[in-house]
Amino acid sequence: MVCIFEGAAKHPNASGGGAFYRLLFATFAFFVCSAKLGASSQSLIKLPIEVTGENGTTESVVVCIPGDDTRPVRSLWLQIHGLEYAGMVSVRVNESAWVSLNNDSATVAEPGRSYGGIGGGMTTLKLTVPIPAGTVDNGPNMLTFRFNGTNGVASGFRILAFNFLDSDGRALLPENTFVEEDPNSWEPPFRDAANRAAGRSLWQNAPLAANGLPNAPPIRAHCSDCHAQDGRDLKYFNFSNASIVARSRFHGLSELQGRQIASYIRSLALPNPGRPWNPPYQPGPGLDSQPVASWAAGAGLKWVLDSDLDTLPFLFGKDRAGVFAIVPANFTPNSNLNPREIPIAFSLPDWNHWLPRVHPVDAWGTHFESSAFAQLYAASDYAKVMAAGDAASFFDRWSKSRSQFLAPRLTAESKKWSPELAERFYAAELWQLVKTWEITQEFSLEGRGLRTWPDTIPAATAPAAVNIPDSANGMGGSALTNEYFNNAWYELQVVVNSGDHRHQRRLPVDWVYLAGRLQNLERLSNRPEPGRLLITVIKAMQSSDPNIGPENIDKGWRPDQNLDPRIMVDKAWAPMFAPLRSDMKQAITEALLSAWLDKTLQYPPASYFRLGLLASSYARPTDLRDISGGRAWEAAAEFRAAGVRGRLVDRLEEWGRKYNDLAGLFHY
């Protein structure tokens, strides 16, 4: 039997008096564990373990291993939220040496490892730390975590899960020894109305410092400027009192002021289904069965898959023999794949990475304050706008105002990209995204739209939307991390508004461009994602109204403006599908081509030719022309080589001849 005593406690430092404190702590734990070892029940440990606050803050737990367990401990497995950079976190077992966590001292699991590991795009990571033989004893063992210091952004981290592993990688501690803390059990630091009112005033008006570094400059923005104006995001995602106080102190407020803000947040009578580490809108099974108000909380980290191939059963299902049921119906443009319910091996950004690191008023000053970009948010009477059902029109105007505000600055300044300049542009995008979430929540817009957003602001949050390059000047200081965020915000767009058969040319999702972003990420990470790419292909096929044909250039079925089946046989895209077995890839290729051809042949060839098409046709990026444009018959030889049935390829070639004959008549 394993006994765990919850003994999390802050230590003033990591040496000196701290060592004496740990000795007393371990001695006390020994007696507690000794008592529990003979009992039929065992103590539980609450998760997460939050380590937030000043540089050097530590938290400890005592793990008790009984004398009859002879398995040697060889490593410590951890799941950590907020692990932003190498050297941020250290861990220690008993009196052994501190281990500073980085990509050399720990082995990061997939998918986080491929996206940069510690210091990369994902900041909730699973990792394994080797433990020297003899470090863990039978009986009580103290496990201590330390926040080494801030980089000017982070103020702590959370241990979401941990376990000791034996030499075979088996966990020593059973799952039922851990319990997740219930946020609904939290009490406000102050219950009286005066302190709550003071907290609300501080949230809206308190002067803040830029960060927790020494001599940090003051900033003009207030808490309510970068977060939701009423603080509902902290309530919705269940940020703890301790984390709110720590963050308040990080920005120059006092302990008392932080507790007053926490009391105000706790008093908000609003839904609170989320957690800080669960990425907003992360897709997963069962999400649509939850109330609409819970959608933003996402399906949870449990549905961030370890392997992209694990997405395939949710796309195709299996027959009674356990074989994937890959048929044309999986791809038919008239169907409707629900991307909210399909789990992926790709973590969307957590709420902390929605928040801008600098507010536009501090980045751009009076230029921002006087802009329509700022004033449309500040001056709009949202209640009237939303009551009038004008949300889509408002967000369209607001999106255009952002482009108008940033465009001249991009022209004037972005030729001299630097990490600081990129951060300013990206922060403006994030600010609009956070405020879009705020408005969407405040006016229950998701419920009106049947779990959809009335805008394209998530896609417009991608660093690429303002030409931030995939380079050391990109987000996170690397091409890989910058491309991770490009993919993340485009993926969010697919989840919250993929068009649902109501596309308008390239809106709300430019599917060809999105496929190119997946390819860019694969080239940088060497981690192909055929499952996530197939979701993109299927949703691209399903972007138009089933009842509108190609004669409607803006809304109808237009293969020349969409992805086409050549993506499955094009050499440049072969690495993306490398994880697939050859028979599976052949089945997918044939099913996709069959569904595409059935839909294309549903309409007379002449309906694909209309006056005015050339003048307004979509100019595809050069490196994506081989997988879009509708001329799938040009890859007939490749389809035959891929094992596609000859009769199906014959139909494709016949369609190509008819199309080309008409194109000659129309001078296309």
Residues 77-92: tens digit of each pLDDT: 999 999 999 999 999 9
Residue 142: strand pairing partners: 62
Q: Which two tokens stand for residue 205?
A: 């008006």
User: pLDDT > 90: what percent of the chain?
Assistant: 77
- What string of DSSP letters covers 346-380? SPPP-GGGTS-SS-HHHHHTHHHHTSHHHHHHHH-
Report how far residue 193's alpha carbon sits from residue 206's, in angstroms, rounded to the nearest whole number. Answer: 18
**What average pLDDT does the segment 30-38 reach?**
51
Q: Which residues contact 269 (CB under 8 A, 6 or more apart)?
A: none
Specify the higher pLDDT residue, 617 or 371.
371
> Is the distance from CB of 270 to CB of 288 less than 8 angstroms?
no
Which pTM value belongs to this model? 0.93
Peptide bond into 621 cis (omega under 30): no
Q: Is the pLDDT reported for residue 27 higher than 70?
A: no
CA distances from 420 to 221, 466, 550 (A): 18, 14, 46
Report how far residue 441's alpha carbon sits from residue 424's, in angstroms, rounded to the nearest whole number. Answer: 26
Q: Is 417 helix (H, G, I), strand (E, B) or coil?
A: coil
Report how far residue 273's alpha carbon sits from residue 87's, in angstroms, rounded to the nearest whole number. Answer: 32
Place of tokens 């919250």: 496
Report how far residue 280's alpha carbon sits from residue 296's, in angstroms, rounded to the nearest whole number. Answer: 5
Residue type at 584 in one-letter notation: M
Query: Per residue in 583-604, pLDDT tens?
Result: 999 999 999 999 999 999 999 9
Average per-residue pLDDT for the chain: 90
pLDDT at 70: 66
Q: Is the pLDDT reported for residue 62 higher than 60?
A: yes
Q: Running DSSP on this structure, what letter comes out for residue 3? A: E
Q: Which two tokens stand for residue 229?
A: 């104006």
Peptide bond into 48 cis (omega under 30): yes
Residue 75: strand pairing partners: 130, 165
pLDDT at 10: 53
User: pLDDT > 70: what percent of the chain?
Assistant: 90
3-state helix, strand, coil in the chain (%, to 5): 45, 10, 40
> Is the distance from CB of 354 to CB of 280 less than 8 angstroms?
yes
Distant-in-sequence contacts of 467-476, Cβ < 8 A, 24+ apart? 467/410, 467/414, 468/417, 468/422, 468/425, 468/426, 469/417, 470/520, 470/524, 471/417, 472/419, 473/417, 473/418, 473/419, 473/421, 473/422, 474/422, 475/422, 475/423, 475/426, 476/116, 476/119, 476/120, 476/121
Q: Is the pLDDT reported for residue 25 higher than 60?
A: no
What domains appear along the chain, each with residue ranges and CATH number?
3-181 (2.60.120), 184-267 (no CATH)
Query: Per residue in 152-163, pLDDT tens?
Result: 999 999 999 999
> Is the distance from CB of 464 to CB of 490 less than 8 angstroms?
no
Specify the higher pLDDT residue, 32 or 186.
186
Angle at 287 between CA 281 and CA 292, to 5 degrees: 75
Q: Is the pLDDT reported for residue 75 higher than 70?
A: yes
> Is the distance from CB of 398 to CB of 454 less than 8 angstroms?
no
Q: Which residues contact 169 (CB under 8 A, 6 or more apart)?
A: 75
Q: Is 582 exposed, middle or buried (0-12, 13-18, 19+ CB in 10 A)?
A: exposed
Q: How would residue 617 be classed by pLDDT, with cut points 50, 70 and 90?
A: low
Of the given ranges (12-26, 36-50, 549-563), which has the lowest mean pLDDT? 12-26
> Is the distance from CB of 455 to CB of 393 less than 8 angstroms?
no
Q: Is the pLDDT reported for residue 7 higher than 70?
A: no
